[in-house]
């Protein structure tokens, strides 16, 4: 039984409306897909090149880490490079957003990223489990990552009392948290995952971890000479922590702010394509910000668009946002969004509040209306031309 | 898996240095950072640069390529998969290598004829600029000269099917072959014959070589019925046939019915510009793509790949002619037919190539 007291807009839409919404979203997808070409390929290649140049330059700078200016600049540069690599490049390539290029060196089947998670394990837990069962409490293991209570519907256990503290640890060491999360503890406990598979996954994790540790904490520090070894090691550690804090913040703002809806397994029973789209729309929340902010968040600040179209290149999300909003307006659906600090504080409040038993559903956003958005380009049907150059970065 | 170019042959020291440097560049190969200095320093894939384009006829051109890494070598009659990027998407086609093996400048070439409505051949012939980068796949193909050489050869080619025959004739001339070669070539007009002038010059200087031009604009397409008239002793010759699929099919049947010669004396290469776009009366049905969660209706002659793409699915593909196995998916339910032979191919649970197979009724595939 769907909760009759629920304010969830999914429950008031008729099957016909849900089908229309599905078609409207599918049309956006197909329009963009048929338009992909040179400018998109140029975009991702220039970003990849930017990351490699910035990364190489920062590493070279850190070889002189015994001089403070080199240390500071190198650390900032490396933190930025790691963020770009993980967010705008790694996450999106592993989603298959660039597979249409048919380029074996920018392809989800061959890519690996500069983080603790081996690509294969992450693709399963994220692309498949999270993106299919988004926000279904009990099925989407990203609802609290199996260690936190961030939705009042999750059953309370005493160990959640500690979640405000271990959340701080998770912020700092997020990449290791994600890597262990990919193992899927529940599947291990219930025996759904065979011992052999677990062994293989642990082995892949070990190999990846060893390579990452040798690179950041042995090889590059060694290249900085005896005097610079410790400083470069600390700089690399700092860059990893900065990247972890940032990705934790962006990712937690994707589904855990107050506006985002969660669902029951009943809600998703016999779900149609249209129903899936509505669930993705309601379960995600955007973050408002400048083009640079969107870029540094890997366009996950367009979490709504990303969840609707996880296989479309991230650089297109900003362009299709007006069309998504137009659909929201037509069907009186919310378009969840808010400024970064507000979204982030909401998440932190929920983590603290829900560490204790009880808790109520937080107030949700109103249906989207154009006048809320004075900066809208005013096109009446919400269609914008999605041609023209992709803005260069930086 | 996405289709890749061939792996370059590297000096063992370079290979070791790259593996060592990877400790610093992981998870990327060190090549990716070398490529920042010069893209050709990346040894991820064998690439080449177009050094010139030679027009052969009004609608065919030879593309001359300098490989970035030393060329792995080829035998006359073999082909190479060539990859180019068009509007951001890398596409592959296989073409006969028309350059001599061990070319003095280490050049490789392919000779491409423009197919109307084609995607890649017009690009190669008309648009691709000198200086463009191409990806060079593995050298493949069984259509090569036998060892030892037979004394009497018959070569039959039509259209751009002349390209492997051309490579073989040059090889025979280089080796000073003193037997007897009879070559029938079908082209619409004398002007439209690829390598026409070269072959006519070869006829003048090489006593072992007889060229018979068959101009289809006047006489209709060359077929099995012409053989007795043109070359009465055809049954005694080891034959090399290269041209459009239907011509080769017809000739092959003729050989089986008429000649006593064993099958080894007949070598064939079928040129097929497009497969799976519809037209042939093979298969037809619906395909359920289990991973993409999409279903497609395929008319007879439409491949699983083309049907899926028309229905909006994004599917892996490579050569689109049944060579590279990029497009394979596991067949879960139903039967498929090979579009080239019309035969049933693959059983449930086996991997099938979606570019050259059509559904035979309702099928489901893990793609």
Q: What number is the average pLDDT over the span B148-158?
A: 95
B24 vs A100, A113, A215: nearest CB: A215
Interchain contact, B3 vs A102, CB within 8 Å = yes
Q: Which residue has the tokens 């090549």?
A: B31
| Torsion, Cα of A123, A126, A127, A128 (10° steps) | 100
The C-alpha atoms of residue A319 and residue A29 are separated, in whole angstroms, by 12
User: Of A222-226, B13-17, B29-33, B315-319, which gets the smallest average pLDDT?
Assistant: B315-319
The pLDDT tens digits for B346-366 are: 788 888 889 989 999 999 999
Question: CA-to-CA distance for B49 and B131, rounded, in angstroms?
Answer: 6
Name which of A103, A109, A220 is nearest B1 (Cβ-Cβ): A109
Contact A42 B36 (CB under 8 A): no
Q: Are the beta carbons of B89 and A42 separated by less than 8 Å?
A: no
Q: What token pair was written down for A35?
A: 């338009």
Question: Could you say which residues from 167 to 226 on chain B have a Cβ atom under 8 Å away from some Cβ of chain A?
Answer: none
Is B338 in CB contact (< 8 Å) with chain A? no
Neighbour-count burial for A270-306, b at 16+ CB within 10 Å, e otherwise: ebeebbbbbbbbbbbbbbeeeeeebbbbbbbbbbbbb
Interface test with A, best of B19, B88, B134, B316 (most A CBs within 10 A): B88
**Positions of chain A with pLDDT lower than 50, given as ranges:** 1-4, 372-388, 393-394
Could you report the per-residue pLDDT of A191-247, keeping only the tens digit for each?
888 899 899 999 999 999 999 999 999 999 999 999 999 999 999 999 999 999 999
Share of chain B above pLDDT 70, in %: 98
Instruction: Name the residue with higher pLDDT: B56 or B279.
Output: B56
Question: Shortest CA distance to A251 belongs to which of A115, A364, A152?
Answer: A115
For residue B23, give the nearest of A56, A110, A215 by CB distance. Answer: A215
Per-residue pLDDT reduced to its tens digit, A120-129: 999 989 988 8
pLDDT value, residue A386: 46
**Sole residue written with tokens 């500690």:** A162
Q: Note the pLDDT of residue B182.
A: 97
> What was the pLDDT predicted at B325?
77
Does A56 contact chain B (CB < 8 Å)? yes
Residues of chain B positioned with their CB less than 8 A from the CB of A39: 88
Mean pLDDT taken over chain B: 91
A342 CB within 8 Å of a chain B CB = no
Compute CA A291 distance to the chain's CA centroid, rounded to the nearest angstrom. Answer: 17
Bridge partners of B52? Answer: B64
DSSP string, B44-88: SS-EEEEEEEEEEETTEEEEEEEESS------TT-EEEEEEEETT
Residues 96-155 of B with CB under 8 A from A: none
Q: Is B13 on the interface with A (CB under 8 A)?
A: no
Cis before B84? omega within 30: no
Rg over CA atoms, chain A:
22
Query: For residue A4, what pLDDT is reported?
Result: 41
Q: Within 10 A of B191 (CB to CB), how many other CB atoms are there?
A: 10
Residue B316: closest CA among chain A residues belongs to which residue? A102
Residue A104 and residue B2: Cβ atoms within 8 Å?
yes
- B-contacting residues of A 190-219, CB under 8 Å? 208, 211-212, 214-215, 219
Round to whole Å and give the CA distance between A122 and B69: 35
């Amino acid at each position: 039984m769907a909760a009759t007291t629920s304010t969830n807009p999914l429950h008031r839409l008729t099957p016909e409306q849900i089908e229309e919404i599905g078609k409207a979203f599918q049309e956006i997808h197909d329009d963009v897909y048929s338009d992909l070409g040179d400018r998109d390929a140029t975009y991702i290649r220039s970003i990849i090149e930017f990351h490699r140049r910035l990364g190489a330059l920062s590493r070279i700078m850190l070889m002189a880490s015994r001089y403070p200016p080199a240390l500071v600049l190198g650390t900032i540069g490396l933190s930025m490079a790691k963020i770009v690599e993980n967010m705008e490049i790694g996450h999106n390539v592993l989603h298959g957003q660039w597979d249409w290029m048919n380029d074996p060196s920018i392809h989800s089947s061959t890519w690996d990223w500069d983080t603790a998670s081996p690509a294969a394990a992450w693709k399963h837990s994220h692309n498949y489990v999270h993106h299919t069962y988004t926000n279904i409490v009990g099925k989407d293991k990203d609802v609290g990552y199996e260690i936190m209570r961030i939705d009042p519907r999750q059953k309370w256990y005493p160990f959640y009392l500690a979640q405000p503290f271990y959340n701080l640890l998770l912020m700092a060491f997020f990449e290791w948290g994600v890597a262990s999360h990919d193992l899927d503890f529940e599947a291990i406990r219930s025996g759904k995952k065979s011992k052999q598979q677990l062994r293989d996954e642990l082995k892949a994790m070990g190999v990846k971890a060893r390579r990452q540790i040798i690179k950041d904490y042995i090889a590059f520090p060694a290249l900085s000479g005896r005097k610079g070894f410790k400083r470069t090691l600390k700089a690399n550690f700092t860059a990893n922590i900065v990247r972890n804090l940032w990705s934790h913040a962006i990712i937690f703002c994707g589904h855990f702010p107050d506006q985002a809806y969660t669902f029951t397994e009943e809600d998703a029973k016999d779900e149609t394509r249209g129903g899936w789209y509505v669930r993705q729309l309601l379960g995600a929340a955007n973050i408002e910000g400048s083009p640079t902010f969107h870029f540094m968040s890997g366009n996950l600040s367009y979490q709504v668009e990303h969840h609707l179209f996880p296989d479309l290149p991230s650089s297109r999300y900003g362009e299709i946002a007006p069309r998504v909003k137009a659909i929201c307006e037509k069907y009186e659906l919310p378009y969840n969004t808010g400024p970064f600090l507000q979204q982030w504080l909401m998440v932190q409040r929920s983590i603290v509040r829900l560490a204790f038993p009880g808790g109520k559903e937080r107030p949700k956003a109103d249906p989207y209306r154009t006048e809320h958005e004075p900066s809208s380009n005013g096109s009446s049907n919400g269609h914008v031309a999605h041609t023209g150059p992709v803005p260069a970065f930086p | 898996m996405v289709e890749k170019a061939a792996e370059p042959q590297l000096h063992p020291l370079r290979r070791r240095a790259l593996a060592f440097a990877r400790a610093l560049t992981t998870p990327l190969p060190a090549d990716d950072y070398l490529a920042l200095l010069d893209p050709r320093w990346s040894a991820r894939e064998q690439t080449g640069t177009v050094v010139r384009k030679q027009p052969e006829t009004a609608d065919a051109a030879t593309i001359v390529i300098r490989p970035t890494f030393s060329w792995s070598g080829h035998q006359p009659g073999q082909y190479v998969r060539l990859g180019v990027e068009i509007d951001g998407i890398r596409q592959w086609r296989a073409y006969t290598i028309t350059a001599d093996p061990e070319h003095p400048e280490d050049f490789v070439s392919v000779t491409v004829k423009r197919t109307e409505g084609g995607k890649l051949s017009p690009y190669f012939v008309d648009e691709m600029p000198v200086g463009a980068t191409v990806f060079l796949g593995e050298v493949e193909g069984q259509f090569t000269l036998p060892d030892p050489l037979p004394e009497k050869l018959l070569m039959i080619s039509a259209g751009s099917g002349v390209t492997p025959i051309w490579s073989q004739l040059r090889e025979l001339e280089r080796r000073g072959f003193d037997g007897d070669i009879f070559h029938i070539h079908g082209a619409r007009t004398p002007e439209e014959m690829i390598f026409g002038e070269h072959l006519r010059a070869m006829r003048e200087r090489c006593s072992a070589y007889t060229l018979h031009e068959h101009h289809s604009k006047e006489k209709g397409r060359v077929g099995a019925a012409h053989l007795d008239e043109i070359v009465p002793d055809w049954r005694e010759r080891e034959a090399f046939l290269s041209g459009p699929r239907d011509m080769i099919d017809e000739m092959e049947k003729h050989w089986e019915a008429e000649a006593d010669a064993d099958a080894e004396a007949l070598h064939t290469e079928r040129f097929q510009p497009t497969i799976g776009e519809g037209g042939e009366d093979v298969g037809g049905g619906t395909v359920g793509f289990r991973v993409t969660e999409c279903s497609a209706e395929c008319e007879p002659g439409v491949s699983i790949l083309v049907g899926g793409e028309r229905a909006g699915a994004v599917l892996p593909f490579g050569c689109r002619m049944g060579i590279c196995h990029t497009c394979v998916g596991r067949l879960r339910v139903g039967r498929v037919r090979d579009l080239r032979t019309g035969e049933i191919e693959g059983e449930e649970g086996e991997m099938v190539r979606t570019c050259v197979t059509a559904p035979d009724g309702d099928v489901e595939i893990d793609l």
